Chain A
Amino acid sequence: MSAPHTNPLDHPEVRMASAWRYISGFIASMVLMQAAFIVTLRQHPPYEQYALTIAGLALASLVSQAALFFGLDISRAQIWKSVSLVLTVPLFVLSVGLTVWMFQSLAARTMLMPATTMQPTLLQ
């Protein structure tokens, strides 16, 4: 444990701030959400296609935020953040995805409900 001997403003994570990255991150996410919004309003495609489209747009927005806002990459300063994120995303997907799957299965077997009245969810 050492006392700070250097100017904290020279730290790589301070230096990595960049106006163009933040502005383009803002624009990218904004455009993608706007596009998803328009797709939603048109309501034309069937549900699966619609869900896949806006899920794709959301994913693009998340990736752009990771790269442009958070500035994640594999440089020395950021590598551990990138690695830990890559390890955590599957857990996020597993806990939500497997839950949806098992309740889907449960509902089909235990809830006596005509299929037409069911609210569509991501897996339908």
Chain B
Amino acid sequence: MSTQAAPGAAPRLFHPHFAGHDQISARTLGFWLYMLSDALIFAAVFAAYAVLNNRMGAAGGPIAPQVTNPLEGLWQTYAVLGSVATYSLGTVALKSGNKAGVMLGIILAIALALVFLGFEAHDLLGLMARGDGVTRSGYLSAFIILIATHGLHMVFGIIWMLVMLVQIPTLGFSANVVARLLNLRMFWQFQATIWVVIYVYVYMIGAF
């Protein structure tokens, strides 16, 4: 790559009416970077889980095979993948500016996300009712916090979707709303990605 302009030619010193950058791309890239940093949050929690996932960590309490159920996890996997697919299909309707299509996708995604969270709440509340909450052992602390971290992301995504359900009819597809819908799509797809890792690493290896 040349580091200097060619000699002789009259150099251009200013660039009037420079269009600048495209705001939507900047926002999606920024949001993508946030997600990578979020991925490192999960990396650290996974590391904690890996360290505490043994009999020492369980301190005489239950361990992975007793608290995880791969079949239930599979239903949750379907729910979260379905939710991601419906939201993503909703953004296909965005191409034609179809408000009803986008909103339908969001509503279905919320419904499936609630199914997912229902399973999860049932699991966690069941554990706590048995006295196997975070106070029981290092292993259960790691298990519950890992699941809850992902669950909180899902809750946050649902709140975001609800806000978008208000903004699409009131603000229309302005640049800001479109950028948010694109970011939300990445955020939501990211939850499925993380869930796949949790499902494989916690539910299935734990059940072996």
Contact = CB atoms under 8 A, between A and B. Distances in A.
A and B together in one complex: yes
Interface of A: 1-2, 4, 8-9, 11, 13-15, 17-19, 22-23, 25-26, 29-30, 33-34, 36-37, 40-41, 43, 47, 50-51, 54-55, 57-58, 61-62, 65-66, 69-70, 77, 80-81, 84-85, 88, 91-92, 95-96, 99-100, 103, 107, 111, 113, 117-122
**Residue from B88, B92, B189 with most neighbouring chain A CB atoms (10 Å):** B88
B51 A103 contact: yes
B81 A13 contact: no
Q: How large is the interface on B (under 10, 10 to 19, 20 to 34, 35 or more residues)?
A: 35 or more
Contacts of B64: 119
A31 B47 CA distance: 28
Interface in B159-204: 173-175, 177-179, 182, 186, 189, 192-193, 196-197, 199-201, 204
Q: Is the interface of B mostly helix, strand, loop or mixed?
A: helix
A42 to B, nearest CB: 11
Nearest to A93: B43
Contacts of B43: 91-92, 95-96
B74 interface: yes
Contact of B50 (A15, A55, A69, A121): A121
B35 to A, nearest CB: 9
A95 B84 CA distance: 28
B156 interface: no
B92 A18 contact: yes
Interface stretch (B23-31, B118-126, B143-151): B23-31
B84 A118 contact: no
B53 interface: yes
B54 A107 contact: yes
Contacts of A2: 19-20
A23 B24 contact: no
A111 B57 CA distance: 12
A36 B32 contact: no
A54 B88 CA distance: 27
Nearest to A43: B208
A111 B173 contact: no
Contacts of A77: 25
Given A84-B36, A119-B54, A70 B24 contact: no
Given A17-B95, A99-B47, A80 B55 contact: no
B40 A70 contact: no
A111 B178 contact: no
B84 A9 contact: no
Contacts of B39: 88, 92
A36 B201 CA distance: 11
A54 B33 contact: no
Contacts of B155: none
A51 B205 contact: yes
B178 A14 contact: yes
Given A30-B78, A37-B204, A58-B200, 4 more contacts: A13-B24, A25-B88, A26-B82, A51-B208
Given A30-B78, A47-B208, A69-B88, A17 B189 contact: no
A34 B173 CA distance: 38
